Amino acid sequence: MQRLKTGFVLSIMAAAIATSGALTAADKYNGPRPAKADVPYLLHAENLIETEIGEAKEESRKDGRAYILNGTASQVRTPLAEPIFLIKVEKLNPDKLALYPLEVKDGKREVYFPNRPRKDSARPVHTIVTRVADGLYRLEANEGLENGEYALSPDGTNQVFAFQIY
């Protein structure tokens, strides 16, 4: 019984040491850093590309709500099917960012949420958020995305950070 307790304590200590080492390694990040805080930047090798910042216009419809951005395409483009973003945070919570595909309709980009969920309802793309240094986070799509328009949006706001995959 004593051996089991000792083994358990040693396992916990090893995990704690490994975790503290990971945090120290995260503070030694020496890649590119975003120029502006609270704005996601697409990471392309050692280059950062600022996402299109906008405010989605909310529109009530008979059976749901649409959030609309002007224009058919974002000028911010990436060829990566699983884009990676770097975000220097001050006020923004990176864990509260949702990634949505946008549909192009009538010269605008939109995401639509019906009042009653349907099979074709808008769903956020799965993402992974990782702290890479103090106040610096990496957000990446956790699934391959098709070519098209997309936007990151903090929960509870109409603020959007748009981009296009080509």
pLDDT tens column, 41-60: 999 999 999 999 999 999 99
pLDDT tens per residue across span 22-35: 444 446 899 999 99
Which helix (H) or strand (E) covers residue 17, if one does?
helix 2-27
Does residue 59 belong to any structural domain of this protein?
yes
pLDDT tens per residue across span 122-157: 889 999 999 999 999 999 999 999 999 999 999 999
DSSP one-letter code for 37: B
Does residue 131 belong to any structural domain of this protein?
yes
Does residue 112 belong to any structural domain of this protein?
yes
Number of domains in the chain: 1
Does residue 25 belong to any structural domain of this protein?
no
Q: Which residues pair with 42 in a beta bridge?
A: 49, 85
Does residue 93 belong to any structural domain of this protein?
yes
Report CA Rg, the chain. 20
Q: Does the pLDDT value for residue 79 go beyond 60?
A: yes
- Residue 70: which domain range? 31-165
Residue owning tokens 């974002």: 74
Does this model's pTM top 0.85? no
Does residue 111 belong to any structural domain of this protein?
yes
Residue 133 CA to residue 75 CA, distance in Å, equals 29
Contact 30, 82 (CB under 8 A): no
